[in-house]
Amino acid sequence: MKALLEVSGISVSFDGFRAINNLSFSIGPAELRAVIGPNGAGKTTFMDIVTGKTRPDEGRVLWGEKSVNLLRMNEAQIARAGIGRKFQRPTVFEDQSVAENLMMALKAARAPWKVLVWRPRPADHARVAALAAQVGLADSLTRKSGELSHGQKQWLEIGMLLAQEPRLLLVDEPAAGMTLAEREQTTALLVDLAKTRAVVVVEHDMDFVRRLNCRVTVLHEGSVLAEGSLDHVTADRQVIEVYLGR
Ligand SMILES: Nc1ncnc2c1ncn2[C@@H]1O[C@H](COP(=O)(O)OP(=O)(O)OP(=O)(O)O)[C@@H](O)[C@H]1O
């Protein structure tokens, strides 16, 4: 199976400090992957590079069937090419309803010149309802987003990202601040989303990672230290030494 995203030999230094060191990583078109590793391992910087926020000093980042060079694209172009990123803190519009937030995301997903003249059509309302249902908010369409729980806000933001139909979703610490029930629902959502797209989850919560039941990549000092099932990587002596044993 050809990779959807292929990162090879990337390095980046900040003031002489190598945050990413000859990192290679690839993910398939419908794959769920957890990325773990100690603080400062380079997880955020890795996502910054894939989304175009940070430029690597060397290496390649190739995207899609045509192996497009992502390093030639800016952040907006990369987002339009199908890479969505969910940050840890939800950034929904609290005064707007769930439906309004989703509709705004649908509108934003249009080409810039179309946004100016865009008016929602019946199909767009149906799409908003479908997105809400997909993220477990079908019963909350008319609720103000500010009234939602932390977990529900996170799901709404994922729904807003889905409006852009990303082929790769990068999700930063989704379990943080969630109740156990919310975490379980989030696991189910991410597993479901990865049936039709690639999903990369950066997470510190090992119970959450275990429930994702997916391939795990362990980063350390900007490189891949181990990769495989969670049982495989957690039995690795070096992983225990630098991460789990602390
Ligand atoms: N813009 C920057 N300028 C200077 N140093 C940076 C910058 N961004 C990241 N770093 C450094 O690069 C290293 C990797 O950071 P990064 O945030 O990618 O790690 P992380 O694995 O996401 O850590 P955490 O689990 O704490 O979020 C750290 O030592 C960090 O201090």
Residue 244 has a pLDDT of 83
Kindly give, in sequence order, each residue whose CB lies less than 8 Å from that of residue 157, ignoring residues fewer than 6 positions away: 86, 90, 91, 92
Identify the residue whose C-alpha is closest to ligand 1 atom 30: 40
Identify the residue whose C-alpha is closest to ligand 1 atom 18: 42
Do residues 157 and 131 touch, judged by C-beta distance below 8 A? Answer: no
- The CA 203 to ligand 1 mean position distance, Å, reads 15
Rounded distance, CA 63 to CA 75, Å?
14
Q: What percent of the chain has pLDDT over 90?
A: 86
Which one is predicted more confidently, 128 or 108?
128
Do residues 189 and 136 touch, judged by C-beta distance below 8 A? Answer: yes
Q: Is 243 exposed, middle or buried (0-12, 13-18, 19+ CB in 10 A)?
A: buried
Rounded distance, CA 211 to CA 104, Å?
32
Do residues 82 and 165 touch, judged by C-beta distance below 8 A? Answer: yes
Identify the residue whose C-alpha is closest to ligand 1 atom 26: 39
Q: CA 92: distance to chain centroid?
A: 16
Atom of ligand 1 nearest to the CA of 37: 21
**Residue 171, ligand 1, Cβ within 6 A:** no
- The CA 20 to ligand 1 mean position distance, Å, reads 9
**Residue 43, ligand 1, Cβ within 6 A:** yes
Assess whether pLDDT exceeds 80 at residue 246: no
Which of 13, 14, 205 maximizes ligand 1 atoms within 8 Å of its Cβ, making it the mutation to test the pocket?
A: 14
Residues of the chain with CATH 3.40.50.300: 1-82+167-245
**Residue 23, ligand 1, Cβ within 6 A:** no
Which amino acid makes up residue 118? W
- The CA 13 to ligand 1 mean position distance, Å, reads 10
Residue 116 has a pLDDT of 65
- The CA 16 to ligand 1 mean position distance, Å, reads 13
| Residue 218 pLDDT grade (very low, low, confident, very high; cuts 50, 70, 90) | very high
Q: Is 175 exposed, middle or buried (0-12, 13-18, 19+ CB in 10 A)?
A: buried
140-187 tens-digit pLDDT: 999 999 999 999 999 999 999 999 999 999 999 999 999 999 999 999
Q: Can you name the CATH fold of 1-82+167-245?
A: Rossmann fold (3.40.50)
Sheet strand arrangement including 168-172: 83-86, 168-172, 198-202, 32-36, 215-220, 223-228
Rounded distance, CA 223 to CA 183, Å?
28
